[in-house]
Structure 1
Amino acid sequence: MLSSPNLPPELWSETFKGLPNKALISLHATSHQFHQIARPLLFGEFHFHPFHVQEGASSRYSDQLDVDRNTKRLEFWTSPAVAPFVRGCTFSAFCRSRDDPSPVFATFFRLLPNLCNLKEVNFVMVRFDRAAVQALCTLSNLARVQLTGCFCAMSQSEVVDLVLHVKSFRCADIASMSSAGAHRWLDILGKDTLHDLTLPSPPSPSLFREGPIPNFPNLQRLLLGIKAWSEIPLLSNFPAMRYLQVSWCPSYSRDDAQSQQPVVLTQLDTYEGPDEVLLFIDPLTAPRRLNIAPCNPQLLLERFFTVRPVLRAVHQLILSLHYLQLDVLSSCLASLPSLREIRMKVYHPFADYTPLVSGDFHNRQTFFESLATRSPFPATLEKLYVSWVAPAPTPDSHSTLTLASAQAAREALSAENNALKCVWLATPEFEYLWIRDTDRPSQFNRTNFYQEIKEFMRSPKSVGGRDSRTRLGFVFPDSQDPFVLRYTGA
């Protein structure tokens, strides 16, 4: 390496990135050039866990010796020789002892402004007072902040003059500990710079306190939990939002939607969460992607019919269904005239759930057989992904029968729908993938179609102690018969 001194530092840096720290330390002392290249890689991430954990014991904070040791370590990482290279910092403050951790906290936030090039910071179980937030606000290059189980101990009057300019702010709970005071960060965050906001869920107490919340005109991604349906109109405070994920919401009744003014989100492109939230969205909103949380198909049908204007532009739908009824599914999809892609996970109903289902529902075998006779999918569909979640099967003849039914279903779907480009059908017994590639040039007299089938045949654990698996692959022997299967190994 030393025989090539003219290589640019960028090339050496890319070469060194995959090396462990011990190797970097050795190279660090080899030459002045390697010294300069290795330092940013050695000191790019600062992980500070002052309350160390012993095996068989909880996190602890011991004595003055630990305080001195952690103080020296902080002083080293925040020194002028090291601090400019630090880009990311993680501060985990797990502490379950009787000792007061505030000396370490105070030292950390006093020295934090020295990390002038810090771009991302993660805090776990840290208590924020005004001095701590002031230290964060002095970091001009900071772009991302993530809090987990943290506590914000500030009043409204204490945050009036504090502004934290970051692009991404994520606040989450840990175990049974909620991020108390998380709503106070809404007053601290810079309104024009924030693009990504994540708030705890389920919120307790509500993140949206009484009174108006600030407007965030440039926020594009929002993940939150909703404590009450009366908070839905507050989504209008994020007019540029393109991605909305609701991770938790209260139970729904018809009176809730009738009593609330629909919220207009003209820029919304993707919604992920419970389908009930769609009932509170104004028809002027037209998302292109929906990811619906696990739901009852019959309730989904009712709500899709109610919010049909909101669904007019949806081209990708991701569903998780408690059970499957093709007639109900067909009626649901009729509300999406622009649909081009469906990703669907179906849970096989348990015996105690069956009495709750009105009408007949499909298992994976009858589902494939029904697809071969009648398709519930729109003519605009291009990609179909279906995954059945069920207990692992026992090896018997039903696996082969199910695979044959899946092939027959695909043949019927592709014959009926010329726009269909991809079909993926998965069960505990097998995975079936078929792709129609109209853009691939024809070579060696092959057609522009190819198919891949994977079949997993499981044997009892008592035989050999492992699952035996057989795979079916795809080959193109000639242009007359492109779909000839062969065994490709186990």
Structure 2
Amino acid sequence: MSSQARIPNELWSKMFGCLTTDSLVQLSHTNRLFCGISRPHLFSEFSFHPYALVNGAVKVPPSSIVQRAQERLAFWASPSIAPFVRSCKITPWERGERRGPKFSTSNERYDLLNAFFDSLIHFSGLHTLHAVDIRFTQVGLTSLCNLPSLRSLCIVGQDFVPGELIDTSSLKLKHLCCFEFRNEYSFMSGTADDWIPLLRLDELHKLEVTLTPHLITVLDRIPFFPQMRTLSVRLDVLDASQSVGLLAKFPALTELSMSQAGHRDTIGRSLSARVPPPVLPHLKKYSGVYQTLHMFVPLPTLTHLTVDMCPPFQMMAELKNIRTPLDNITTMHVEFVSAPDVVLDEFFGIFPALTRLQIEVADVLPLDFDFEDPDFLEDDPHWMIPEFLEALTKTPLPPPLDQLAVFWRVETAYLPSLPNFKKYSGLLMKKYPALKAVWFGLYGFTYRSRKAQDGTVIGEEAIADDNHETVKRMCRDFDSSWVDLEVQV
């Protein structure tokens, strides 16, 4: 018996999943067994371009390119390939500046789109569809709803083909668990209102939408979403308090994100009431602007908190109106628009139970900023990294803290010199025995230290100019070490 026959196909498949595409292609040519095992990996992701968008107008490339695209679609939709496709992305062609095909208006401009929708039903194993600036047809919607394995749908800009008669009264996305709709930066005029009626409320676990007054009206007609675990809303309303009443429709919610859509600045002025615990009895993670903290951080179930783009003093003022200390919060990611060293003592006093903390200091520069001005480098708090590190080592950290990360959104080239991150990391880990990992980062630079089992501190640094791959690897390693922070639902 050959070694190939002795090893189960499932194990071969696991090993093949770690290979590059080129290696998989070579193995698929080796023998029939490897060809069959390689196919699910080689053909799991399919991308397609039905047209180009030029200032909102639909255009197509020359007929020779259209023909090749049709042949490619026929290959992927064939019985020997289509069942292996798990993820599909359909997006417009991107126009080249000087090279590439010339796009033009044509009476057949929707031929490729129609061919795609006609072929869609053959992708019986499709789990995820990502559609960007796509004009749907009745056939397209029907095919989408008839996909037996579709679990996740992301729409970024959507419309319907002009003149197309659309009837969705009998259509449902039967097995969809995750739905995302975004249209802030699209030429398309479609809205999430068109899709909400197609969702199966007893199946949906994750929803991401822009909340408009009309969508609030649509959602008001729905009693509740019984299985919803994750909700992300961008508020595009003058009175954000309208959205608070909707939260009661999501009794099983464990993760919530609220942000502003576009340049509106109404969320802080219009949200005053706290969310009573009975409304969100299972909420564990919240992400949003600092003006909403009073609504959610008092919830006893909340343990994970992300705060976007906040001025340190204003955030502290917001938190002073809340019962403190907040010993329910154990994991936090906060993004400051200026160095927070002057409020560190107060900040750590409010969150004494933190075990994992990520701090970002945003690079917010004045419009007339002059990189040659030495006064800026001396005085601006965004660039006074050593002063912040000094304050960090002298301010009592939360006793349970075991992972700390600080990232400055600044290019290393604009700093007079790199701070001695090794020194400050060592001081912190010596002063706080519970601290097991410290990560400092800038654009193009990262320093990481961790404590070994014997207590030895191991440090590693990399600069992108010297070894860009090392920087990327260290960032990936750091990100993966935070995977366990995700709430399991």
Say whether 1:257 aligns with 2:271.
Answer: yes
Q: Counting helix residues as a fraction of each chain, which structure ranks higher?
A: 2
Alignment partners' CA distance in 2, 1:245 and 1:388? 23
Q: Which residue of 2 aligns with 1:9?
A: 9
Matches within 5 A, 1:50-199: 50-51=50-51, 60-61=59-60, 73-94=72-93, 97-151=105-159, 158-164=167-173, 165-173=175-183, 175-177=185-187, 180-199=190-209
Q: Which residue type is aligned with residue 319 of structure 2? A: F
Contact 2:235 2:260 in 1 (8 A): yes
Q: Which residue of 2 aligns with 1:463?
A: none
Contact 1:422 1:433 in 2 (8 A): yes
Q: Secondary structure in 1 aligned to 2:332?
A: strand
- Closer, same or farther in 2 for the Cα pair 1:452/1:403, shift >3 Å? same
Alignment partners' CA distance in 2, 1:268 and 1:39? 41
Alignment partners' CA distance in 1, 2:448 and 2:3? 52
Q: Which residue of 1 aligns with 2:44?
A: 44
Q: Which residue of 1 aligns with 2:486?
A: none
1:347, CA displacement in angstroms?
Answer: 4.2
Contact 1:244 1:272 in 2 (8 A): yes
- Closer, same or farther in 2 for the Cα pair 1:307/1:102, shift >3 Å? farther
* Offset from partner CA, 1:422-462 (integer Å, 9 cap, x none): 3334568986544444xx2x4xxxxx232426487x9xxxx
Matches within 5 A, 1:13-412: 13-14=13-14, 18=19, 20=21, 24=25, 27=28, 32-51=32-51, 60-61=59-60, 73-94=72-93, 97-151=105-159, 158-164=167-173, 165-173=175-183, 175-177=185-187, 180-200=190-210, 207-209=215-217, 212-214=220-222, 215-228=224-237, 229=240, 230-248=242-260, 250-252=264-266, 256-258=270-272, 264-281=279-296, 283-284=298-299, 286-308=301-323, 311-347=326-362, 363-372=384-393, 374-390=394-410, 392=412, 402-403=419-420, 407=423, 411=427
Say whether 1:450 aligns with 2:457.
Answer: yes
State the superposition RMSD in angstroms.
4.5
Residue segments in structure 2 that go unaligned for 5+ positions in a row? 94-102, 370-378, 471-489
Task: State the structure with bigger RCO (CA 8 A, min sep 6), 1 or 2.
Answer: 2
Percent identical across equivalent pairs? 25
Q: Which residue type is aligned with residue 344 of structure 1? A: I
Alignment partners' CA distance in 1, 2:402 and 2:294? 28
Q: Secondary structure in 1 aligned to 2:350?
A: coil
* Offset from partner CA, 1:12-57 (integer Å, 9 cap, x none): 54565536479748945x6554554444445433333243799xxx
1:82, CA displacement in angstroms?
Answer: 3.6
Q: Which is further off, 188-197 or 238-247?
A: 238-247
Alignment partners' CA distance in 1, 2:437 and 2:34? 50
Bigger Rg, which one: 1
Contact 1:384 1:422 in 2 (8 A): yes
Alignment partners' CA distance in 2, 1:23 and 1:254? 53
Contact 1:283 1:310 in 2 (8 A): no
Q: Which residue type is aligned with residue 83 of structure 1? A: A
Q: Which is further off, 360-369 or 266-275?
A: 360-369
Contact 2:153 2:176 in 1 (8 A): yes
Q: Secondary structure in 1 aligned to 2:309?
A: coil
Alignment partners' CA distance in 1, 2:265 and 2:316? 18
- Closer, same or farther in 2 for the Cα pair 1:298/1:252, shift >3 Å? farther
Alignment partners' CA distance in 1, 2:189 and 2:196? 13
TM-score by length of 1: 0.72
How many residues are treated as equivalent by the alignment?
A: 437
TM-score by length of 2: 0.72
Contact 2:325 2:349 in 1 (8 A): no
1:403, CA displacement in angstroms?
Answer: 2.2
